[in-house]
């Protein structure tokens, strides 16, 4: 099961600060890069789901009727005023809107990670960490 956006935010909120306390510049950047990789994966999944939604919305009425034979009136989100076909399309459209909103949030988080990485790379602490990593004999 894919983690929800909220569960990922909670995990990052409570674990990232602990992970970054006392971390060197390189470790902080690595943590942000790891978060960015996770966000990229989530973005890819949302884009795949969004790409599938228009296909559902363009399904011919006959095919929708076949699919709707298994739907039960009175089920969750069932609207008695809509035909089963229209209800199915309404739900698919709502799902596409929800996924688009999640995608925008992910893109905002990606931008935040990129800005954080850039800011950390601009610090003297990071530059010293890089020098120490590539030149172990270097003292302070």
The encoded tokens of residue 113 equal 């990670």
Kindly state whether residue 139 falls inside one of the protein's structural domains.
Answer: no
Kindly state whether residue 18 falls inside one of the protein's structural domains.
Answer: yes
* Total number of domains in the chain: 1
Q: Is the pTM of this model over 0.75?
A: no
Q: What is the residue range of 110's domain?
A: 5-134
Kindly state whether residue 127 falls inside one of the protein's structural domains.
Answer: yes
Kindly state whether residue 117 falls inside one of the protein's structural domains.
Answer: yes
Does residue 131 sit in helix, strand or coil?
Answer: helix
Q: Using an 8 Å Cβ cutoff, are 69 and 77 in contact?
A: no
Kindly state whether residue 101 falls inside one of the protein's structural domains.
Answer: yes
Kindly state whether residue 116 falls inside one of the protein's structural domains.
Answer: yes
Mean pLDDT of 72-100: 69
pLDDT band at 22 (very low <50, low <70, confident <90, very high): low
Kindly state whether residue 86 falls inside one of the protein's structural domains.
Answer: yes
Kindly state whether residue 140 falls inside one of the protein's structural domains.
Answer: no
Task: Look at residue 105 and tell me whether its pLDDT is greater than 70.
Answer: yes
pLDDT tens-digit map of 42-84: 999 988 888 777 666 666 666 656 655 555 555 555 445 566 6
Mean pLDDT of 22-28: 67
Q: Buried b vs exposed e over 42-65: b needs ≥16 C-beta within 10 Å?
A: bbeebeebbeebeebeebeeeebe
Task: Look at residue 118 and tell me whether its pLDDT is greater than 70.
Answer: yes
Say how far apart CA 99 and CA 90 lie, in whole Å.
Answer: 14
């Amino acid at each position: 099961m894919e983690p929800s956006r909220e569960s990922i935010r909670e995990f990052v909120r409570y674990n990232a600060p602990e992970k970054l306390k006392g971390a060197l510049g390189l470790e902080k950047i690595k943590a942000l890069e790891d978060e960015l990789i996770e966000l990229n994966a989530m973005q890819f999944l949302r884009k795949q789901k969004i790409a599938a939604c228009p296909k559902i919305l363009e399904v011919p009425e006959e095919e929708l009727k076949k699919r709707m034979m298994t739907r039960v009136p009175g089920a969750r989100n069932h609207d008695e005023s809509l035909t089963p076909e229209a209800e199915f399309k309404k739900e698919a459209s709502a799902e596409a809107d929800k996924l688009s909103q999640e995608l925008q949030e992910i893109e905002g988080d990606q931008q935040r990670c990129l800005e954080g990485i850039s800011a950390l790379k601009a610090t003297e602490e990071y530059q010293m960490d890089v020098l120490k990593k590539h030149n172990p004999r270097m003292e302070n």
